[in-house]
């Protein structure tokens, strides 16, 4: 069955462009579109899409609230943020609200389709540009986002923090395993334990948590 997608963006031409870009993908079906968070919530409840592809910075100002409401009302629906803003503060807010991925609008149609497939399959998507931006800010930030505070208060070991730092760079399980000289199975198991310990849903939320709490010290 096709992956059913609801597009949310306050720009009509952007919505049309997204529909045109995804139309050739036989396994992806656009089932609706909305221009505000409130309308997105109503349509998500009525249509029950697999994926809500939405700009978190819509002009109505209700993007973050909409993500939280959609993921609470429709837990089977995954939200993939598609935005022009490579901002780690907005990323943290979106992921903490329940978004399963965060990619930028300059993404190619093929990569966007793959991001939709990945999120639908239960994986987390984080734009490499966002990852690099986060790393740069963590290295220089004095506003409380970075700082590398100890993770022990949250039950995280030094190895856990190393894994989270790799995930923040956008590395997949296989890349993390190779970088830390561990097996891929070990990385998967440790990530599952991190999610359980922190009561988080996925990799994106774990990275957002670590950024928010100042646990990552990355040079």
Find the helix packing angle between 203-212 and 88-97, rounded to 10°. Answer: 130
pTM above 0.75, yes or no: no
CB–CB of 88/96 below 8 Å? Answer: no
133 falls within a domain: no
Q: Using one digit for the tens of pLDDT, what is the confidence trace for 134-168? A: 655 544 443 433 344 444 556 788 888 888 878 76
Among 98-102, 199-203, 213-217, the minimum mean pLDDT is found in 213-217
132 falls within a domain: no
Residue 24: CB atoms within 10 A of its CB come to 10
CATH code of 24's domain: 3.40.50.2300
Alpha carbon of 49 to those of 3, 38, 119, 135, 139: distances in Å?
8, 16, 13, 33, 39
Domain count, the chain: 2
Which residue segment(s) compose the domain that 205 sits in? 143-212
CATH code of 147's domain: 1.10.10.10
Q: Sign of torsion, CA 39 109 89 85?
A: negative
CB–CB of 189/219 below 8 Å? Answer: no
Domain boundary among 98, 126, 154: 126
Give residue 90's pLDDT: 85
Q: Using one digit for the tens of pLDDT, what is the confidence trace for 81-112? A: 999 988 778 888 888 888 988 999 999 999 99
Q: Are residues 19 and 83 in the same domain?
A: yes
Q: Are residues 156 and 113 in the same domain?
A: no
């Amino acid at each position: 069955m096709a992956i059913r997608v609801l597009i949310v963006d306050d720009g009509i031409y952007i919505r049309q462009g997204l529909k045109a870009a995804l139309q050739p993908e036989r396994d992806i079906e656009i089932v609706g579109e909305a221009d505000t968070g409130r309308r997105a919530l109503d349509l998500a409840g009525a249509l029950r899409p697999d994926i809500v592809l939405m700009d978190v910075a819509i002009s109505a100002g209700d993007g973050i609230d909409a993500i939280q409401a959609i993921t609470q009302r429709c837990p089977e629906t995954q939200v993939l943020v598609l935005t022009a803003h490579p901002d780690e503060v907005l990323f943290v807010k979106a992921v903490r609200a329940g978004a399963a991925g965060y990619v930028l609008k300059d993404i190619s149609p093929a990569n966007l389709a793959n991001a939709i497939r990945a999120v639908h399959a239960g994986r987390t998507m984080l734009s490499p540009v966002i990852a690099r931006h986060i790393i740069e800010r963590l290295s220089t930030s004095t506003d409380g986002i970075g700082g590398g505070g100890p993770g022990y208060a949250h039950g995280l070991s030094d190895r856990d923090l190393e894994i989270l730092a790799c995930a923040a760079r956008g590395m997949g399980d296989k890349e993390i395993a190779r970088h830390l000289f561990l097996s891929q199975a070990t990385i998967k198991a440790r990530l599952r334990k991190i999610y359980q310990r922190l009561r988080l849903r996925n990799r994106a939320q774990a990275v957002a948590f670590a950024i928010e709490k100042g646990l990552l010290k990355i040079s």
